[in-house]
Structures are given as C-alpha cells and as structure tokens.
Amino acid sequence: MKTPHSIAALFLLTLFAWACKDDGTNNPNPEPEPEVPNIYKACCGAQAVEEAIGQGHVYIPNIFTPNSDGINDILLINADDKIAEIEEWVVKDTAGNTVFEYYSFFPNRFEYGWLPDESEAPGGLYTYEARIKDTAGLLKTVSGSVCVYRCKTATDSILMENIARCQFGVQHDGAGGYDPNSALLEPDSCF
C-alpha cells in the first residue's frame, strides 16, 4: 500500500530525474561552436609571381580589390618591355572551374585584366596559369594564386590574417618586379 510519503517521494524522484535530464544545457563542457570559415585565411600565404622569362621579367600580384575605387581593382600581368605577349591566361576557383580566360594579349594593359563582379568571383583565393612569351620567342608557363578581397563589404568583412604578406598591383616597379617600398594606396578602412 502506498502511503502519502511514498507517493511524495516518488513524485520528488520523478521531478528530480526530469530536471536533471541531459538536454545539453547543463553540460559543463559543451561542444564549441563551429568556427565561421575565414574565406581569406589562405590569401597572401603564397608569394606573388616575380618571374624571369628569357631577358624579360613578369610580376603578378597575390591580391587585388575589385571594389571600383580605382585602386588595385584589376588583376593584371605586369611586365617589362622584354615580354612580347601573354599567349594564354586562365584563372580558376577553388573547385577548378574557369572564371576568367584571355588569349594572345599584351601585358600591362587594363583592358586585358580581370575585373570580376561579386557574382562572378566572390572574395577568396583563386589560382591561375599563364603562358608568357618574351621578345626572343621563349615561352614559359607561370602559375600562382591570387586573392579577390572585397574591402569589408557586408558579406566579406573578415580581416585577413596574412595582410603583411600581400603584394598589390600598384606595387609593380615598372620593370616586371615588385617594389616593397611602394605604397599600396588602399585606405585603412579596406582592412
């Protein structure tokens, strides 16, 4: 026979068991929240391309900022006057899809550069390969990676970890190389 005390005890045990049920809220060591992916984490981790091709030199930056401010907006193949032609230039996303390609053009020309809009190329890392010919006819293939950085837009506001290793197009020395003393000209608000 159940007494009022045994019924009360059973009720309290049930209530205690229900209150202590592990629903994840009482866990002293909860699982950490998944980290928000930093699409810029790998940016500027690789050096920009500075390559001798025969007697010529080529510089391709490892970052650009296509935000229509007129500074570092277009990715160009920069070269000295000993480079005759870019026979082929192909840029791919991380999945290997071609997002830009151009054939048979001169270096240092904005009309042959890559200026993607956000739908064509969101921020992040891309790879490229270019076949470049010098004035003596020597042909060489160069490859590298480049970061499309969107200057703190609403969708891409994560600060890059490798900003000190970024080499911009405006830091081209005019002779197919990189000038580390040249100002990058991007406003601080970009980063």
Q: What is the pTM of this model?
A: 0.76
- State the pLDDT at residue 177: 92
- State the pLDDT at residue 11: 47
- State the pLDDT at residue 145: 95
- State the pLDDT at residue 104: 98
| CA–CA gap between residue 166 and residue 62 (Å, rounded) | 6
Per-residue pLDDT of the chain (191 residues; tens, 9 = 90+): 555 555 544 444 454 444 445 555 555 666 665 554 567 777 888 889 999 999 999 999 999 999 888 899 999 999 999 999 999 999 999 899 999 999 999 999 999 999 998 888 888 899 999 999 999 999 999 999 999 988 765 444 445 567 778 899 999 998 999 998 988 788 777 77
CA distances (Å), origin 158, targets 91, 97, 115, 167: 23, 24, 21, 19
CA-derived radius of gyration, the chain: 28
As given in the structure block, the two tokens for residue 27 are 């866990």
| CA–CA gap between residue 181 and residue 174 (Å, rounded) | 13
CB count within 10 Å of CB 25 equals 7
CATH classification for the domain delimited by 50-178, as one of 1.20.272.10, 3.60.10.10, 2.60.40.1220, 1.20.59.20: 2.60.40.1220
Domain range summary for the chain, segments of one domain joined by +: 50-178
- State the pLDDT at residue 76: 95
- State the pLDDT at residue 35: 54
- State the pLDDT at residue 27: 56
- Residue 128, H or E segment: strand 124-134
- State the pLDDT at residue 189: 72
- State the pLDDT at residue 106: 96
